[in-house]
Structures are given as C-alpha cells and as structure tokens.
Amino acid sequence: MRRAVPDECDALLREGGIAHIRPLRPDDRARLHELVDRSSERSAYLRFFTGGTASAHAYMDHIATLDYSGRALVAVVNGQLVAVAEYIPGDAGDAEIAILVDDGMHHRGLGTLLVEHLALNAADEGVRELVANVLAENRPMLRMLDDVGLTTRRAFSDGTVEIRMDPHPTPGVLERIEERAHQAASASLTRLFCPESVAVIGAGRAPGGVGHRILCNLLQGGFPGPVYPINPHARQLCGMPAYASVKNVPGPIDLAIIATPARTVLELARDCAGHGMRDLVVVTTGFAEAGETGAEDELLRICREAGIRLVGPNCLGIVNTEARLNASFLPHPPIPGRLALMSQSGAIAVALIDRAIDRGTGISSFASVGNKADVSGNDLLEYWEDDLATDVIALYLESFGNPRRFERIARRVSRRKPIIAIKSGRGGSGERAVRSHTAAAATPDVAVDALLKASGIIRVETVQDMLDTACLLAAQPLPQGSRVAIVGNSGGPQTLAADACEQRNLLVPELAPVTCERLRARLPVAAAVANPVDLTAGGSARDLAFAVETALADPGIDIVLVVYTPPFGSGLGRTRQAISHAATVTGKTVVACITGHDGLLSGRVPCYAFPEQAVRALRHAVDYASWRAVPQAPPAEPHPAEAVAARDIVEADLARHPGGRWLDYGTAARLLGCYGVQVAEAVEAVEVDGPDSAAEAAVVIEPPVVLKATGPDLVHKSDIGGVRVGLGTPDEAGRAYREMAGAIGPAMTGAIVQPMVEPGVEIIIGGVAHEAFGPLLMIGMGGVTAELLADRSFRVPPLSDQDPAAMIAELRCAPLLAGYRGRPCADIAALRKQVAGVGRLLDNLPEVAELDLNPVIVTPADAVVVDVRIRLAPAAPPLSLLRRRLR
C-alpha cells in the first residue's frame, strides 16, 4: 500500500503546542546526545533498563549510523529535538517498539502522538505486530500504550511486561485519535481567543490607519490585560507608552497583531518567535492572494517552528466578546451574543456583523481567516464545539483545506450545535474535460452540497438568510415537526405565510376541534379559528397572547408563527410583550413576523419583517432537527481483501498506461467484481472489433444479443445509434456493427456483444473524483433519461450502512422501484448492495476519476449492471484521517 502522507508533518500537542514529526537523520547525532543529557537517570533506566545514560548515549550513536535497521521518528519542538521513537522489524512479521521523550515534554501527549505515527508506518510496511517490552514499574508508559487504542495482548515475566499490539487501525482507534485531535485543537485556539496580553505591531497615529483602529478597538472594548502598542517612531499612542519593538516589551506577550507593510512582516514574525509568543494575527495583505506564495510559506514556517498559531494573513482579525477581546479593525464592534462567526472574506464579515448589530443578533466570537495559511474552519469548529459561550456557528467559506477532515469534524459538531454556511463559487465543471454522465452532473457545487448535507450543515444563499436562521436557532428550541399554526391580525400577510409554508413543504393543518372551541369561546365573533387563526385588525394583544398559547397547546402543532401588522390592535409595544410572554409557557418553537421589523423580542422570540423570511428560517430549522434526530450511523466496515485485489488491478493497469485510460470492459468488470458489484454476464460478454467478430460473438452467446459501441468519447451511445438490442442472428449482429461504425465513425473503437437482460427499472450509479473534494457518489434515474430528468442523489464516501437506502428514497423515481401502479416490486436490496459496493470502490481508489454504470437494470429478482465506463488516472493518495497533522 502507498503511504498516505509525506514523512514530515506538524501536529498539535495536548495543550495546543506544535511538534514537528520527521524521520531520524544521521545528522541528528548531536541532538540525540543532547536529548540524553537532558534526561534523568530514572528516565534512561526506564527506557534502556540497565546502564542509565551511558547506555543511552551508546545507543544514540548506534541509531544515527547509516546501517541502522530500524525505523525511527523524531519530534522537534521550538527548534529542539525532544523525542525519538522507533520500531525495528523482526523476521516473524513483528517489530520491537521503543520511545524516549524529553523529561520536560512529559504529559503533553507527545509519546502518544509518536506511537500513532509509528503504528501507521508499520502497518503500511506490512508489520503484523508491534512489541513493546516495558518495566512493570513504568506505569506512565503502560498507560500511554493503552491509551493509543490499538488491540493489545500482555504477558508478564520477571518484572517486565511484554505488550503486543496490532498496528492496523480500527474504528475504535480512529475515535481515540479524533478525541485527542479535538482536545489539542481546542486547547490551541483557547490560547488564541483568551490571551492575557496583546501587542499591536504597526499601531500608528493616523486615526484611519489599520493598526491605530485595532489598538482603539482593543482599548474601547475593555480588554482587561496589558496592551502594548509597537511603533519605533512613537513614544506614546492612545495615552499608552509605545515600544520600538516587541524585544523592548518588559513582560510576556501572548498574542500579537501585525499591521505593517508586507515587506516587514517576516522579520517581525521572527521577533515574535524570539519573544516566545503563542499566537499571531497578520492582517497585512500582499501574500498568497497577491501571488506571493513563497513569502506566505516562509511566514508559516517561522510560526510552526516557534509553536505559534497563525491567523491570516490578509484578514480583519479576531474577536471574543466574552473575553472583551476586539483584536480587529472592524468598523463597528459586535454586540455580545451566542453566534460564532468565521469568514474568509473581510467584506462579507463586515456586512454580516453590521447587519447582526442592526437586528440585535449578538456574537460570541469571530475570526476573519483570510488566506488560511494556518488556522482554518476545521480548527475553529473544534474550538467552538466546546465553547460555552457559543450556541450557533456561522461560516462564510470560499474553499476547503481538507474537505474529508472538515466533513468528519462538522458532522460531530452538528450533533451538538447547528452550523450554518454560505459557500461562494457556484460554478459548473469549468474547464474540466468530462466524458461521463456523472462527471457532468457532479459539478463542484454539487460536491459542496453533498459534503455539507452529509455533515448536517445548513446551507444558505444570503447573509440575510444566514442571520434569520441563526437568530431562530440561537433563541428557540428545535422544532419537533413541521406542523405550523399561523396566528395573527391580518389576513393578507397570514395568507402569504401559509403560501410560503406550502411552497417549502411545511404543513398548516387544521387545529383540533377542542382547540377551535376554546378559540371561539374567547375571541371576537369575527375571528377565524381554523388555521390560520385571524383575529382581524381589532384583535387585542391579550387576545393574541391567548390564541398563541392555545395553538401551542394543540398536540397537532409543532410551531407557532405569529403574524402581526402594526399599529393595529393594542399597538406595537404591547403586542411585542404579549408575544414574548406567550412564548415563555411552552417548549415548542415560536417565531414572529411583525411587518417591517427584524430582531428579537425580549431576547427570546426571533422576529422577521416579512413572512417569507420566517418560513425560510423555519424550513432550515425543521430540516436540521430532522437530521439530528436520526441516530448517527458509522461508516460501513471495510473489506480488506477486496481493497487489496482492486489495488492490484489499478496499479497494474496504470503501470501499463501511466497517463491513465478508459478501462476495457473486462478490466472494468473485474474491478467492480472486487466490491461485489454484479455486471451483466461479465463472463459471456465479448469485446469485438469488427462485423466478423461481432457475428462470431453472437454465435457464442445465445441470441437475442445486444451490441454496444465502445470508445473513450462515447457517452450518449443511444443518441448516436451506438446501442442495438434484440439481434436474433449472427448476420444481424455483423450487419448492426457495420451500420453502427459507419454512423459513428472513428469515435467508435470497438463494441461489446452481450446477452439480453430482463426488462426492469433503469438506474444509473456513478462516481467522480474531485481534485478538491475527493470522491462523490451518484445514483439516479438511468438509461436515456439520465440527463433529461436529472433525478439524482449524491453522497460523499465512505457510506454508512443506511446511506444507500436513503439515497434511493430521495429519488423521484423511487416509487417505480416499489411497485408503482401495480408493477412488481424491484429488488431494492440488490440495488442497495450495488450502491454500497461502488461507494467502497470510490473511497478506496482515488485513481478512479470517472465511473458510470448506466443502466443498472433493477428487476424483481436482481440489480444488474449492463453498461460500464470507468476511467483511471494517476492520483495522489488521500490524506489519512488517522494521522494527526496540521495541514
């Protein structure tokens, strides 16, 4: 198997620090001896048993030689080699493992991190078992090896514990690794958002300057810790002493914001590293967004080597309202609240926050990530998952750094807190040359949709929609269903609300008879009490509150939408109070539409200027509640044997065709067979290259037969006469080939002769490998209607056991499979099996660039693939989810 990541990477430690993990090099000899010198005799004894540090020094000389037979990794923190871990392969498929960690680095998770990486490397190399001999008194090492989560066996002998570990990862190991990654990422960003001291580098005198505005925002926001303006040309700024450099600052600095010209940033970052800072925000432009990728790479290198987390460059800064930290140059400070916000665009961030201020929506914390050289949406989700000040998360995204990692983190976070996202760039397939139905349908935006849907993320189109939805989710309980009661004082807006509900598949059912009786007994005679409940313009605030409370008590209602047009009834002020009071007596969802007014009523009830806004937000909330109510299913268990066989086929074919190719029918069928995907008479199908061979194939295969043209550019074969069915004799097959070749021309490079398949429902199963998003699986209505009807469902592999059934159920053509209008039921279980097999194939084989199984004929007895198109292309292996690393 190929290595999933480069040998070198940076990774977060338990408390948020950064370690650089790389293979041991011969020139590390001096650093290894320094590591031993810093180790106590006790540590050397626990690692080497006898001889103490003398044995340790001798062993370091040994492993730094070129003839060393082991596999060793070292960890470097703040420029210092602080750990070495190794395994030495044996003759029986096992390998002995050992580790030495600097005494000053104990209890920071470094040993566990190194063992994780060693185990993955060993599994890649074919090691079947790792063996650790540990002194029974070395309890920290015993606990650490247990915590890794690998399957282990123990044996005790003469004060030593032999631990044998299977290095191959399991779902349980992945869970443990994700827990540790979450803890480290959360700790890392807690330092960022909760600093004890801040320096503003480039704080100027000019009121309009970025550095000056950041300094003023920090001071006006009431940051409680020391603030250090850095400006070599000023002695005092904003009534505070200014310093020529961070080197001159008398105390420690946790966070620095750099707002100086791009040419100065690298040297200033080195100064920050030398001062021992933990976090850096670079608002300066002129890096990767301006084509200066080398400067941005160097900035990141400086930060990583010093253990600094970097926000930006090319950003607005960060805010934490609870910590009274406004380290940004936002024109208006956010008000405190429960919404966390990340934006890749500064302009969008300003618009979001200004609009949030206007409508009274508060922000818990905010990060403008700019170029995302380091801190990204993945890191922020990890932090906000545990942040007690955050109830709802909003993201403005322009790109994904590691989409598969994002999906796993977001799926977990969404189970606890709703995530709302705007993703810009709804382009099509662009310049990408695609030659399959699936690749044409699976545009990048479709991939984004599938990714966000799988994660439980609420995708919205506009800033208005994002804030409308966030306001609802932060203020109200999740809807328990989609049944809406509309209560108000004006028929027109209430009718608009009912129409909007119908358009978005929210139900407006009749109220229960007992509910209607209660309403009639109390409300004016002119009031309508069905649903919508219309009090008319004369309805008082008291009547409105009663109607709302009564509707909420109806067991057939999940949501109450209050629609009020001021100034009628008791007036705006008293009506707002009445709605707020009525909402306090229930655990159900209550929203209001007060014509022309956006905001919150008493901090509890979201209020919208127009009915359509309210209904859009409700639809998002209902969908999110439904997603969260379904138990999370883990990915289906992998089948190692099928992956190995498929990998052999792919690597052998790419060795013969290094640039990739469209597979011949036989190779494609064998590849699908590795994953249990049944191809129609794959053994009997015959590839032919002329009329004579087509006629001969028809003799071998009992007629009637099917003739299908093949060629890398042939997608819509039926449209160009590339499919002939029901050929009853060899002569008909030969004549059909001749006519087909004459009509299609050079694009037809051959054909396939197959037996006829029993009629059934035609389905397409497809896949495409997106460069940015990874694999995407599609199922839809197949045959000649595949593109005409565009009836499709998408998922991002790996699939859970429930995903194939859910994908089928989402299709508009699903009733055809279930026995529509007296037709026999199709074998949906067989179709699910085919979908699951293709999902595993796409997840295992990034080299599968395009795949079309069209059609898959689903009959009452089976689901059979009758046409196959698979294109292989060289591809880098995906980043392993098991290997903790900063991107």
Predicted TM-score of the model (pTM): 0.89
Q: Is residue 580 part of a domain?
A: yes
Neighbours of 249 (CB within 10 A): 18
Q: Is residue 569 part of a domain?
A: yes
Mean residue pLDDT across the chain: 91
C-alpha 777: how far from its chain's center?
Answer: 16
User: Final residue of a domain: which of 629, 648, 675?
Assistant: 629
The DSSP bridge partners found for residue 18 are 12
In whole angstroms, what is the distance from residue 665 CA to residue 868 CA? 7
Q: What single string gives the DSSP state of each residue in 84-115?
A: EEEEEE-TTSEEEEEEEE-GGGTTSSHHHHHH
Residue 592 sits at φ, ψ, to 5 deg, of -125, 145
Q: What is the CATH number of the domain that holds 18?
A: 3.40.630.30
Look at the chain and count its residues. Answer: 887
In this predicted model, what pLDDT tens digit does every residue of 726-766 receive, in sequence order? 898 889 989 999 999 988 888 898 988 888 877 889 999 99
pLDDT for 648 equals: 94
Q: What single string gives the DSSP state of each residue in 336-368?
A: EEEEEEEES-HHHHHHHHHHHHHHT--EEEEEE
Residue 679 sits at φ, ψ, to 5 deg, of -105, 140
Gyration radius of the chain over CA positions = 32
Q: Is residue 644 part of a domain?
A: no
Q: Is the pLDDT of residue 683 over 50?
A: no
Q: Is the pLDDT of residue 432 over 60?
A: no
Backbone CA torsion sign across 544, 548, 549, 550? positive
In this predicted model, what pLDDT tens digit does every residue of 840-855 receive, in sequence order? 999 999 999 999 998 8
Q: Is residue 745 part of a domain?
A: no
In whole angstroms, what is the distance from residue 20 CA to residue 292 CA? 25
pLDDT for 717 equals: 75
Q: Is the pLDDT of residue 439 over 50?
A: yes
Number of folded domains that form the chain: 2
Contact status, residue 404 vs residue 774, Cβ threshold 8 Å: yes
Q: What is the CATH number of the domain that holds 564?
A: 3.40.50.261
Kindly give the residue spans of alpha helices, DSSP state H, lying in 777-847.
786-789, 803-810, 814-817, 828-844
In this structure, which long-range contacts are made by residues 57-60, counting pairs with CB atoms below 8 Å and at least 24 apart in sequence?
A: 57/33, 60/29, 60/32, 60/33, 60/35, 60/36, 60/84
User: Final residue of a domain: which of 168, 194, 209?
Assistant: 168
In this predicted model, what pLDDT tens digit does every residue of 88-130 receive, in sequence order? 999 889 999 999 999 999 999 999 999 999 999 999 888 999 9
In this structure, which long-range contacts are made by residues 159-164, counting pairs with CB atoms below 8 Å and at least 24 apart in sequence?
A: 159/135, 160/133, 160/134, 160/135, 160/136, 161/133, 161/134, 161/135, 161/136, 162/131, 162/132, 162/133, 163/131, 163/132, 163/133, 163/134, 164/94, 164/129, 164/130, 164/131
Contact status, residue 395 vs residue 871, Cβ threshold 8 Å: no
Q: Is residue 134 part of a domain?
A: yes
pLDDT for 679 equals: 85
The label of the residue with tokens 């407006």 reads: 508
For residue 638, name the pLDDT band (cuts at 50, 70, 90).
low
Structural domain span for residue 147? 9-168
In whole angstroms, what is the distance from residue 209 CA to residue 638 CA? 57
Q: Is residue 88 part of a domain?
A: yes
Burial track 503-532 (b if 16+ CB lie within 10 A, e otherwise): ebebebeebeeebbebbeeebeeebebebb
For residue 790, name the pLDDT band (cuts at 50, 70, 90).
confident
Contact status, residue 736 vs residue 727, Cβ threshold 8 Å: yes
User: Final residue of a domain: which of 629, 647, 664?
Assistant: 629
In whole angstroms, what is the distance from residue 415 CA to residue 425 CA? 27
pLDDT for 681 equals: 57
Contact status, residue 81 vs residue 99, Cβ threshold 8 Å: no
Contact status, residue 340 vs residue 390, Cβ threshold 8 Å: yes
Q: Is residue 848 part of a domain?
A: no
Q: Which amino acid is at 536?
A: T
Q: Is residue 652 part of a domain?
A: no
